[in-house]
Structure 1
Amino acid sequence: MADDVSWVPAAMAQAVPWVTTAGITFGDISTERVVAFLPDRPDQHNHVGGPHAAVMFGLGETASGAVGLAAFAGAGDRAVPLVVRSEITYLALAKGDLSAEAVLTRPAGEVLAELDAGTRPEFTVDVTITDADGVQTGAMTIVWTLKPRR
């Protein structure tokens, strides 16, 4: 039976108020993959009428955080997830609503084993951003760490 991660959208909205402010919602959620959505809003447009680059980045980073939350929920009392570095490539002019698919690139068990061994593990999440026409408009790589609580 799959892990129940239905609590992740509410947890993201509570822990990261910007999620609600931006209007981000979530679709498919698992411990390996999350899909997040951002509606097209004129107040978040850039100078060419599409979603601003910062909003696209925020959507992708939020999706990556949600998959990390789902994958490492059991480590919450032992570690704090933090972004180490992020890279985004803007591939095409985005138009309309956006979706971001975030995929954990390493098994969570490996990361948790490193944490249990006393290290500060890192894990990578790859994100694909797509617009309303199904065009891939961005690609991200986000490296996270689990900082042990002391």
Structure 2
Amino acid sequence: MSTDYALIGEGMKTAVPWVGSNGVEFEHIGPDKVVATIADDPRQHNHVGGLHAAMIFGIGETASGALLLTAFADQLGRATPLVAKAEIGYRKVALGPLRAEAVLGRDAAEVVAELDAGQRPEFPVHVTISNAEGVVTTELTVLWTLRPNRS
């Protein structure tokens, strides 16, 4: 059975109200990379005219979650994905619309092997957030875990 990755983006907008209510769009969704975008909305600005840090973190975490769903879609019946930790570095004021590109930091097969062995695997998703000119404004690493479901 193949996964329709486009449905993941639409499903996130429904299942995670923040995603649907803040204008997040998905430019690309696949098991190796997710690209999410968010428009520049003055109502979401900070005191220096850029998008507020909460919005920047939100687009990055959303991209990382969509990547998790694509990379481990076939595991979600037996494990619950949870964020264990996140680290963010704000490099430049994030002016204008933003693009968040998420990539998996570990081989998915290794993660599944740990889950198969009864462990609770952890894996990083690295996210680079850039402005319309391609300048990196923010770097984010989200450490996810797959918690095995109890029978």
| TM bracket, shorter-chain basis | over 0.9
1:78–1:149: 8 Å Cα contact kept in structure 2? yes
Task: Please list, as runs of the form range in 1=range in 2, the aligned pairs for 1:55-74 lying within 5 A after superposition.
Answer: 55-74=55-74
Distance 1:132 1:27 in 2: 14
Note if 1:98 corresponds to 2:92.
no
Residue 17 of structure 1: CA displacement? Answer: 0.9
User: Aligned-pair distance for 1:135?
Assistant: 1.2
| C-alpha RMSD of the superposition | 1.1
State the TM-score, normalized to the length of structure 1.
0.96
Paired AA for residue 87 in structure 1: E
Q: Moved runs in structure 1, 4+ residues, more than 2 A?
A: none
- Distance across 2 between alignment mates of 1:38 and 1:69: 20
Per-residue CA shift, 1:49-81, capped at 9, x if unaligned?
110011000100000000001111111110010
The CA distance in 2 between the partners of 1:7 and 1:90, in whole Å, is 31
Alpha-carbon offset, residue 26 of structure 1 = 0.3
Question: How many Å apart are 1:109 and its aligned residue?
Answer: 1.4
Matches within 5 A, 1:1-150: 4-150=4-150
User: If the length of structure 2 is used for normalisation, what is the TM-score?
Assistant: 0.95
Among the aligned pairs, what percent are the same residue? 55
Distance 2:107 2:15 in 1: 24
Q: Secondary structure at the match of 2:6?
A: coil
Amino acid at match of 1:56: I
Indicate conservation of the 8 Å contact 1:100/1:128, yes or no.
yes
Query: Take 1:29 and 1:107, find their aligned partners in 2: how far apart are those partners?
Result: 18
CA distance in 2, matches of 1:58, 1:6: 20
Q: In the alignment, residue 8 of structure 2 is paired with which amino acid?
A: V
1:3 is displaced (CA, Å) by: 5.3
Structure 1 residues not aligned, in runs of 5+ = none
Aligned residues: 149
Cα distance in 2 between the residues matched to 1:32 and 1:97: 23
Q: Please say if residues 98 and 132 of structure 1, whose CA atoms lie closer than 8 Å, have aligned partners that are also in contact.
A: yes
The residue type paired with residue 77 of structure 1 is G
Describe the SS at the equivalent of 1:6.
Answer: helix
Residues 3, 31 of structure 1: 8 Å contact kept:
no
